[in-house]
Amino acid sequence: MTPIAHASQILDTMLGYLGFTVQIDQIEGPEGPTLQIHTDDSQQLIGHRGSTMEDIQYLVNRILQRHIDHAPRIRVDIEFYRSMHEDKLLDHARELGDRVRATGKSEMLQPMNSYYRRMIHNIFVDDKEVQSLSLDPNERFKRIQLKRRH
């Protein structure tokens, strides 16, 4: 059994015990293996700002790692919530980058986890004018500012 199929089985069993009826699609995409959940109870599984979905993803990956050494990290998405959230976040960061270019003033992003901070960083890694910085390695904030010229 492939890791994504095993993760799908873990997820289906877990949600079944909790009383949810779901359909799970296994997707091999550019972000890696993803389990896309379709259900009538999506808001309940997503939780406030995706917190329940993040917890579900964490549990699935912890259980999978116990069963399969070196299994890839599996993403869990519910009714494309994660995909839409990431698209909005990246669009917002690009808009802030354009604003920084136009005004020369740095802009701050809301606190976010390391995965999203890395996504923001990757947008500007090849940009000749704008960069993103974490103010402190222990902080969850990201600043977008003009690159300093030497």
pTM summary value = 0.80
Query: Which tokens belong to 17?
Result: 């015990």
What sign results for the dihedral spanned by CA atoms 92, 98, 103, 107?
positive
Is the pLDDT at 149 greater than 70? The verdict is: no
Question: Mean pLDDT over residues 21-34, rounded?
Answer: 92
CA 50 to CA 119: how far, in whole Å? 17
Q: Name 63's bridge partners.
A: none
- For residue 117, the tally of other CB atoms under 10 A from its CB is 18
Per the prediction, the chain carries an average pLDDT of: 91
User: What domains, with CATH codes, occur in the chain?
Assistant: 3-79 (3.30.300.20), 84-146 (3.30.1370.50)
Question: Mean pLDDT over residues 24-48, rounded?
Answer: 93
At 150, is the pLDDT very low, low, confident or very high (cuts 50, 70, 90)?
low
Which alpha helices (H) appear in 72-145, and where do they start and end? 81-103, 114-124
Q: What's the pLDDT score for residue 147?
A: 84
CA 16 to CA 39: how far, in whole Å? 12
- Name the DSSP letter for residue 50: G
Query: Which tokens belong to 46?
Result: 């997503």
Across 53-57, 89-93, 144-148, least confident range? 144-148
Is the pLDDT at 111 greater than 90? The verdict is: no
CA 121 to CA 108: how far, in whole Å? 13
Amino acid at 31: E
CA 97 to CA 22: how far, in whole Å? 39
Q: What's the pLDDT score for residue 144?
A: 87
